[in-house]
Amino acid sequence: MSSYNRSRFLLARWSIYAILVAVYMLAFFHRMAPAVISSDLMKTFNTSGAALGSLAAMYFYIYTAMQIPAGVLADTLGARATITVGTLVAGCGSIQFGIAETFTGASFGRIMVGLGVSVVFVGLFKSNSVWFSERNFGMVSGLTLLLGNIGAIASAGPLAGLLRSYSWRSVFIVLGGVTLLLAGLSALVVRNRPEDMGFPSMRQMEGKTSHPASKKHWWADLKSVVGTASAWPVLWVDLGMVGSMLAFVGLWAIPFLRDVHGLGRSAASVYTTSALAGFAVGSMLVGWVSDRIGRRKPVILGGTLLYATACLGLAYFPWHPGPVGIAQFALLGLSAGGFVVTFANAKEVVAPALSGMALGLVNTGLFFGAAVMQPLFGWALDLSWNGRIDSGVRVYAPSDYHTGFLLMLGCAVIAVAGASRIKETYCRNITIDS
């Protein structure tokens, strides 16, 4: 193994990680913010529930379509180029969203944001797979999700607080400027591999042989990943569990708490914050547990079963605002946090050089679930809406939301079914290690 400066390596690794995680936090903020500004958007653009769901889901539509291309880009061009360009597009999209005067203009801005940040997650996890040891990937993935969810948490209570003093337009314009700044830092600091900075690979540092690079055309590699049967069950887990959770917490939770339980925006944001905090803690905890016990399937299956229980509670348990309600939302997020191990499982069932494509495939399920569920939940509300409007905003009845919760429960069943079919990897790449 060649000698190298350990301190310089650690500085480079954590500097790259910090910049990419900061971009990822902004992606989470954009993902969840529509819940807090839902009433502002309804008033500004005079939308129905289904239309609001479609506006919020524009992010998820383009994000979903881009996940497999993002995996191809991560495996071919690397994290530096893809994330830099993506962050530039997202920054411009945030500014466009903030200045939009029409529903179409706002939708275009939302699409640009979704397009830009669509490459961030896969690029970040691809970077983690080469800058960190394989044996710690579950824990690092959990840490990444924990930090990313700080961005989601900021889109709840802190955003609600900001909206007391600033308009939602100002917030997104400033956010766009910050995003453009991070694009510049990505170009200056981020590097695709330790070898690009003169360091040995992580495997060489551990006295092992480096994973071979793929010698095939990317299209052949992509067909290989898509044709790997053991990569698909975790896609169904993420589609059913995380897709429905993000759809609800990211858009419909605050309207539900307002319409059914009479909570104002700030009070309701406490509940979404508890769900996002639970999601962050669950991601970190489950990733660590999985690495410690050397198993993937039990923790994923346990998470899906707990999530199904939480959805049952939303649909049928007669809870009320207060500690019980906050705990209910925290359980929803905590259980969904088990999804983080699906990414470790996905990269362990394909060749290491193709990990970006595998992550993109699995992430497609997650965001397809959210893209479908946000407008579908709104459609379910509109289906039985009694026509009540308050200050230009539609008000829905408890029975309307109950239909939406039944849709979430159906998604949870899909997640449990997927988890039961996962192939155990014992925290190693099964295509190489015996």
Across 328-357, average pLDDT: 89
Across 79-85, average pLDDT: 94
- Residue 48, sorted as left (phi over 0), alpha (psi -120 to 50) or beta, turns out to be beta
What pLDDT was estimated at residue 8? 92
* Other C-beta atoms lying within 10 Å of the C-beta of residue 219: 9
What token pair was written down for 197?
């900075």
Within a domain: 293: yes
Within a domain: 117: yes
Within a domain: 280: yes
Amino acid sitting at position 14:
W
* Strand 389-390 relative to strand 393-394, pairing: antiparallel
What are the pLDDT digits (tens) for 139-194?
Answer: 888 888 888 878 877 877 788 788 888 888 998 899 899 999 999 999 999 999 88
What token pair was written down for 395?
């008000």
- Highest-confidence range of 90-104, 201-215, 378-392, by mean pLDDT? 90-104
- Least confident range from 55-64, 65-74, 124-133: namely 55-64
- Residue 262, judged by CB atoms within 10 A of its CB (0-12, 13-18, 19+), counts as exposed
Within a domain: 23: yes
Within a domain: 297: yes
The count of structural domains within the chain is 1
Across 395-406, average pLDDT: 91
- Highest-confidence range of 33-37, 120-124, 405-409, by mean pLDDT? 405-409
Indicate the average pLDDT of the chain. 87
Token pair 């990419």 is found at 20
CATH code, domain with 101: 1.20.1250.20
Residues 283 and 289: their CA atoms lie apart, in Å, by 10
- What percent of the chain is modeled with pLDDT above 90? 38
Distances (CA, A) of 345 to 202, 233, 241: 20, 10, 16
3-state helix, strand, coil in the chain (%, to 5): 80, 0, 20
What pLDDT was estimated at residue 358? 87
Across 233-237, average pLDDT: 95
Residues 346 and 225: their CA atoms lie apart, in Å, by 10
What pLDDT was estimated at residue 434? 46
Residues 199 and 332: their CA atoms lie apart, in Å, by 42
Token pair 């039985």 is found at 384
- Give the pLDDT band of residue 204 (cuts 50, 70, 90): confident
Across 135-142, average pLDDT: 79
Taking the whole predicted model, whether its pTM rises above 0.85 is answered as: no
Within a domain: 196: no
Q: Is the pLDDT of residue 99 over 90?
A: yes
- What percent of the chain is modeled with pLDDT above 70? 97
What pLDDT was estimated at residue 178? 92
What pLDDT was estimated at residue 238? 94
More confident residue, 359 or 184: 184
- Residue 229, judged by CB atoms within 10 A of its CB (0-12, 13-18, 19+), counts as exposed
Give the residues across from 389 on adjacent strands.
394
What pLDDT was estimated at residue 210? 66
Residues 338 and 351: their CA atoms lie apart, in Å, by 24
Within a domain: 103: yes
What are the pLDDT digits (tens) for 327-340?
Answer: 999 999 999 988 88
Q: Is the pLDDT of residue 15 over 80?
A: yes
What pLDDT was estimated at residue 3? 66
Q: Residue 219: give the domain boundaries.
A: 6-191+215-420
Within a domain: 197: no
